[in-house]
Structure 1
Amino acid sequence: MDQSVDVVDHVSSLLDGEKYKEALTVAVDEKYAKQFKDNCWDLISVIVSKVNNDTNTLKPSLYGTCEQFLSIIVQKAVPEEALLEFIEQIEVSKNDAQFSIILQPLQQLLLKLTLKRGRSLEWCLNAISTYIDNIPVPEYELEGKQRLLMECDDNIRRINKVYSLLPPFYCPFISEVMNDDKCRPKQIISAFLISLFGKPLVYVDVDPDTNKQSETRACTKFLIADICTLLKNPLKFLAYIEKCSNESEKTKPKNEKYDENEEIDPYDHKEKVNITTLSGLFYALLSGHFEIPDTALPLVYSPEYLVCTVLLCGVHLLSFTEYGPLSKGIYLCKEILKKYPENILSSKLTMVHYNLGKNLMTVAIYSMYQSLRKESVVILGTLVNKFDYKGRCSLIKYMIDNANHSGMIGYAISLYKNSLDEAFKEPELPATFKDSQLMAMLKKICHLPHGAESDLVELADQIITSLNLLRYLVIKDTGNVTNFKNNFVAIETSYLEPLRVALKMSKAHYEVKLKDIEEAKNNPKENINVSINVGGNVLDTIPDKNKKEIILSALNAFHLIEGLVARLSECINLNKQKPV
């Protein structure tokens, strides 16, 4: 062969000219053998670059030739050199077709490297993880059956395609390490499989109610089956959840390069095993959305330990704003709380319960997804009612202190009222609903942040539920078991009196606004501008028709509150006449 002819350029030209048989001849011809072997590194790059996402459809012969070429290179090249180039090509792949065509020759090389496979396998799986992590995940404001449309999204299709390529690649290595629990390659593969439950999969909806037949769900099933087969007891990663949850951001950054001579436990690679990937894994294992072998979920763990640890995953998933992780967090928390007994002692309350309550409130108040908002409210009630009365009151106080939302505070008050009603059925009323403890709670509940000048529209839900609670107490506690009767004067002075003043001022204010709107309607030439302030927000850009609806709604709320105050006052006055 003419040494001036570059074999790499020659092969590239033949492929571009669609001379595929001739190109393959170069790969097997003995006269090109030395230069071919010396240039395998560059040949891999050139051949992979010829492949695009539509190559297999538009030019199947080219795609098949490239596959054969890479297979020949695997046979002729120095394995270590070819391996490094294939890994680099994964890292720089421009499309999924390039990623796909690399996997089989890469697997062939790894199978040849029996003695050095541990570190080589880790490098390969790291490169694959990096490629997968870079797949963008779309997020649309769709709910229920509308989310079936997500399967048509290009990025969701990419995720399905790429994930479907993985089991054929890693399965031969699982078979090799199955019977050796302590071998490093087994840990490497396990860490890789756990990483696949993170981004992008954690963002994709796999709810069986809305996506039972989705490809993503099928991919997840394969992953779960493989990880259960490999690990036998995936619940052993409960020990890593708390560790990862509390991990400081100042520990090794994600992109930090490790010393090649440093032998790091595969499970300590935080880009693989972290709170996000573990949350995705335990959602799949414990949400009830997938069939899990009974042998993969041993019953040796105490329910308290299992629930408290897994709830850390729920708290993490609920910290997202996207539908995928939020829905997974909702279903995981809903299912795992079923494993809790009833009437848990308040001493068992930990920060995870308070953090869960906080995140559930955030979802209930601010999430753009109505179905998730409703579910989070239900789970919040379940969480509170799992504890004894003292524990419930602690969580309810936390809700009132942190909700900053009248509707959510109103819901917390209703939970308190329901618990109080339940407590009255006990042989003896618990101390948490008596005397100073009761009054401390009522002080939080019956609170006008700015006294008579408080915005009653903004506080309407809280005020209505608080008045209903007070009236319930007056009517229910005829024997003054709670000692509430002795505090009528304090309630009247600190709450009802300023509330009456606030009602009078608010009604007058809104009635004037309503009159202004009517005058503006009757005298359009006078151009009367009417602005409304609700919750500190000035509503001066909305149409007068909508302003009128807001004002009428506010006035209706005032009338309702006024009626509740009157009935409560009547009950208090009647009760005062009875002896204590």
Structure 2
Amino acid sequence: MAVNQMDDVIQRWRTTEDFKPEDHELFLNTGRTCIAQGDSSKLLDFIKEEANQRIVRSMGSGLLPALVNEVLRKDRSPAYCQVILNELVQICSVQELLDILLEQVEETDPNAIADSVIVLMPLIQSVLLRMRESKAPGLALALDSLQKQISRLPVPYSHKQEQEDVYGLCRCCTAVLTFVQPFVQEAKNQDTNLVATKLRATLLTFCMNSLREPLLQVQLDREANTTEISPLRNFATEIMAILAVIQESLPKILFYQPLRGKEDTILEKDACHPNESRACMAYLLFVQLIAIEVFPAVFSPVFVLQCNMEYINLLLSRKDESWILKGLDLYVKCLERVTDCSLPVELLELKPFHEVPQNLIKIMIDCPIQHLRGRSLVVFQLFIEKLNGEAKHKFFRRIMKTSHHAGVESIIIKNIKNQVELCRKSAYQDGWFEGTWLISLLRDTITLPQGHETDLLHGMDRIMESLNLLRYLLIKEREISTGIWIDLCHIAESYTKLLRVCLSMSKSYYGKELKTLREDKKIKAKEFKEAPGKRSVQSLIVKTETLGSMPLEAQDKVLQCALITYDLMESLVVRIEDIIEEGQK
């Protein structure tokens, strides 16, 4: 269209009260052409001209997508386009602007999420600040759209990845904090205002979602010795600060729901993953000590542990390394605050207290990550040490009946020995590990679960600890009688008698297999000389593992180790029998 013709159209637009669809189409086509041809300065002049304000207010919002795309382009200077965007968000209809900008957020290129949302956030903020009663609903829509896109970005795993910030998560977290600050201040300064109340509810949802993603995946203490400020740790700190500002108290969020089974009144009932968010909040408070200065110090350690057990259980029940680490660290910090041997037996009946040790055991046994297995064992032992005598006694019985794992059972038996030793070496008195209570526990503990069919190698850890416990108890009881000698001897004799049967069968079997193997090695050596390409290996089962794929030398060593283990068990059996015989003289 010629310039003079366009001038005529503009003059008509300045005087008309109603713009037709063809007017909108012409305005948008002309504006997009200016943008595409790099004539953004002319478009800016048009927008700034006072006589054109009504035209721009009615039709200017349609230019937003083209302007945003131009700003995101790397091959041109977007200065004029950025200024135009800033002008439009102050002139056009706020609802139209918000709808278009949120549509731009939702249609973001997956390969340019960070760049796009960082450009769009200040524009959306400017639009929302122009709103009045609809500000809180608009903010809720905006934060929901922005967080959905930000949650698609990979979380940096190492300090180096966080510094490089290839995918832009750190930049987005910093930008979204800037985005919400004006609304936080409004919610804080206008405490009784209805809009402020709605803003607080919206901001609470934002904070809870942020705790869930990305903060639940972030490893905040991966390099504690670095002097550089971590953007993600700063994000966590600011989220907790916002929570402290918009909510009457952090305990209300953290402790109200797990104790009473109700949602916080300000937290929407359909909020996403509230317990996961609270679990992250507990971790930030009690492990990272973020915002701990505003958390009341009036709660007892046992109460804090009790409230956090649901969150610990949630974290430990997942397979994500970051979740498990947070659960273990939170459990340790809560247990360390508890006075030694003070957790009562009643707590064991509560669902989280019952489930958390089971989750620890699963990690100890099944987790493929070695440092998590080792860490869970340390935490498991710490938990045991915090139980009082009655709780230990009941917990040991429960685990021995339910774990079905020789390694775990050996830990329990070792703890029984430690508890008895503690009672006898000091003035510490605990009837649960003395007299009839101890005998009752031993009857359930010192057993071969499968009788004479027990796989001694598979159950080696439990068997060795059981024999060591019997030897220790018999020696101590012979030195200082506490009245359990007869019962103790009966338990020991029943156990060793059955164990001798198993040992005899196992030694005979493995001795025969070793002899056969060595004879087979001679045959294989001869076959190797005669026909090098023809080989076969014998298949054996030891500790439920097939040895057939092993070289013959390795099979030989495994069988020898098995026989040595049986000899060691037998030597302990002999020693126990000698102690009993000496005590009866």
Q: Same fold (TM over 0.5)?
A: yes
Residue 236 (str. 1) matches residue 252 (str. 2): yes
Q: Is the 8 A contact 1:133 1:200 kept in 2?
A: yes
Question: Pick from 562, 566, 580: which aligns with 1:554?
Answer: 562
Tell me how far 1:546 sits from its aligned partner: 3.9
Q: Map 1:424-435; keep pairs closer than 5 Å.
A: 424-425=424-425, 430-434=430-434
Which residue is 2:359 aligned to? Answer: 359
Q: Is the 8 A contact 1:318 1:325 kept in 2?
A: yes
Which residue is 1:93 aligned to? Answer: 108
The amino acid across from 2:162 in the alignment is E
Tell me how far 1:428 sits from its aligned partner: 8.2
The amino acid across from 1:324 in the alignment is S
The amino acid across from 1:8 in the alignment is L
Which residue is 1:158 aligned to? Answer: 168
* More displaced stretch, 362-371 vs 425-434: 425-434
Which residue is 1:492 aligned to? Answer: 493
Q: Distance in 2 between matches of 1:167 and 1:367?
A: 36
Residue 292 (str. 1) matches residue 291 (str. 2): yes
Q: Distance in 2 between matches of 1:148 and 1:464?
A: 45
Tell me how far 1:460 sits from its aligned partner: 0.8
Q: Distance in 1 between matches of 2:485 and 2:550?
A: 46
CA separation of 1:482 and 1:377: change in aligned 2, threshold 3 A: farther
Question: Pick from 299, 302, 305: which aligns with 2:303?
Answer: 305
The amino acid across from 1:120 in the alignment is G
CA separation of 1:566 and 1:129: change in aligned 2, threshold 3 A: same
For residues 338-375 of structure 1, the C-alpha deviation after alignment (integer angstroms, 9 at most, x for no partner) is 22123323234333222221122222222233222222
Q: Distance in 2 between matches of 1:520 and 1:283?
A: 60
For residues 86-116 of structure 1, the C-alpha deviation after alignment (integer angstroms, 9 at most, x for no partner) is 2333233222211111110111111111332
CA separation of 1:419 and 1:434: change in aligned 2, threshold 3 A: closer
Tell me how far 1:160 sits from its aligned partner: 1.5
Which residue is 1:199 aligned to? Answer: 213
**Structure 1 residue ranges without an equivalent (≥5):** 140-146, 252-263
Residue 67 (str. 1) matches residue 75 (str. 2): no
For residues 388-408 of structure 1, the C-alpha deviation after alignment (integer angstroms, 9 at most, x for no partner) is 111112222233233332212
* More displaced stretch, 341-350 vs 166-175: 341-350
Q: Is the 8 A contact 2:439 2:487 kept in 1?
A: no
Which residue is 1:256 aligned to? Answer: none
Q: Distance in 1 between matches of 2:241 and 2:434?
A: 54
Aligned length: 545
Which residue is 2:574 aligned to? Answer: 566
For residues 204-258 of structure 1, the C-alpha deviation after alignment (integer angstroms, 9 at most, x for no partner) is 21115457444423332333344334446322212344179x68xxx9xxxxxxx
* More displaced stretch, 184-193 vs 22-31: 22-31
Residue 110 (str. 1) matches residue 128 (str. 2): yes
Q: Distance in 1 between matches of 2:458 and 2:41?
A: 77
Q: Is the 8 A contact 2:313 2:355 kept in 1?
A: yes
Which residue is 2:26 aligned to? Answer: 6
* More displaced stretch, 266-275 vs 361-370: 266-275
Q: Map 1:298-377; keep pairs closer than 5 Å.
A: 298-344=296-342, 345-349=344-348, 350-377=350-377
Question: Pick from 171, 190, 194: which aligns with 2:181?
Answer: 171
Q: Is the 8 A contact 1:516 1:530 kept in 2?
A: no
The amino acid across from 1:483 in the alignment is I
The amino acid across from 1:384 in the alignment is I
Q: Distance in 2 between matches of 1:90 and 1:216?
A: 22
Q: Is the 8 A contact 2:218 2:322 kept in 1?
A: yes
Tell me how far 1:179 sits from its aligned partner: 4.4
Q: Is the 8 A contact 1:90 1:99 kept in 2?
A: yes
Question: 3-state DSSP class of the match of 2:212?
Answer: coil
Q: Distance in 2 between matches of 1:474 and 1:70?
A: 86
Question: 3-state DSSP class of the match of 2:546?
Answer: strand
Residue 452 (str. 1) matches residue 452 (str. 2): yes
CA separation of 1:274 and 1:471: change in aligned 2, threshold 3 A: same
Q: Map 1:46-65; keep pairs closer than 5 Å.
A: 46-50=66-70, 55=73, 58-59=74-75, 61-62=77-78, 64-65=79-80
Residue 407 (str. 1) matches residue 407 (str. 2): yes
CA separation of 1:509 and 1:342: change in aligned 2, threshold 3 A: same
CA separation of 1:490 and 1:476: change in aligned 2, threshold 3 A: closer
CA separation of 1:486 and 1:271: change in aligned 2, threshold 3 A: same
Q: Distance in 1 between matches of 2:467 and 2:256?
A: 47
For residues 108-162 of structure 1, the C-alpha deviation after alignment (integer angstroms, 9 at most, x for no partner) is 11111133212222222222232233334588xxxxxxx445537867x532222
Residue 120 (str. 1) matches residue 131 (str. 2): no
Which residue is 2:199 aligned to? Answer: 185
Q: Distance in 1 between matches of 2:535 and 2:128?
A: 80
Residue 220 (str. 1) matches residue 230 (str. 2): no
Q: Map 1:478-557; keep pairs closer than 5 Å.
A: 478=478, 479-481=480-482, 483-493=484-494, 495-524=495-524, 525=527, 527-557=535-565
Q: Distance in 2 between matches of 1:521 and 1:204?
A: 55
**Structure 2 residue ranges without an equivalent (≥5):** 1-5, 10-21, 528-533
Tell me how far 1:189 sits from its aligned partner: 1.1
Which residue is 1:461 aligned to? Answer: 461
Q: Distance in 2 between matches of 1:229 and 1:550?
A: 64
Q: Distance in 2 between matches of 1:221 and 1:102?
A: 24
Which residue is 2:16 aligned to? Answer: none
CA separation of 1:32 and 1:184: change in aligned 2, threshold 3 A: closer
Q: Is the 8 A contact 1:488 1:572 kept in 2?
A: yes
For residues 506-538 of structure 1, the C-alpha deviation after alignment (integer angstroms, 9 at most, x for no partner) is 223333333444344433327442223244343
Q: Is the 8 A contact 1:364 1:377 kept in 2?
A: yes
Tell me how far 1:314 sits from its aligned partner: 1.5
Q: Map 1:430-441; keep pairs closer than 5 Å.
A: 430-434=430-434, 436-441=436-441
**TM-score normalised according to structure 2 size:** 0.84
Q: Is the 8 A contact 1:148 1:211 kept in 2?
A: no
Q: Distance in 2 between matches of 1:9 and 1:551?
A: 85
Question: 3-state DSSP class of the match of 2:168?
Answer: helix
Residue 283 (str. 1) matches residue 299 (str. 2): no
**Percent same amino acid at aligned positions?**
22
Q: Is the 8 A contact 1:241 1:278 kept in 2?
A: no
Q: Distance in 2 between matches of 1:149 and 1:404?
A: 43
Which residue is 1:259 aligned to? Answer: none
Tell me how far 1:564 sits from its aligned partner: 1.7
Which residue is 1:21 aligned to? Answer: 41
The amino acid across from 1:513 in the alignment is E
Tell me how far 1:445 sits from its aligned partner: 2.2
Q: Distance in 2 between matches of 1:190 and 1:518?
A: 72
Question: 3-state DSSP class of the match of 1:61?
Answer: coil
Which residue is 2:531 aligned to? Answer: none
Q: Is the 8 A contact 1:431 1:437 kept in 2?
A: yes
Q: Distance in 1 between matches of 2:514 and 2:173?
A: 61
Which residue is 1:381 aligned to? Answer: 381
Q: Is the 8 A contact 2:58 2:93 kept in 1?
A: no
Q: Distance in 1 between matches of 2:568 and 2:164?
A: 49
Q: Is the 8 A contact 1:303 1:340 kept in 2?
A: yes
Q: Distance in 2 between matches of 1:528 and 1:102?
A: 69
Q: Distance in 2 between matches of 1:454 and 1:462?
A: 12
Question: Pick from 78, 86, 95: which aligns with 1:80?
Answer: 95
Question: 3-state DSSP class of the match of 2:457?
Answer: coil
Question: 3-state DSSP class of the match of 1:361?
Answer: helix
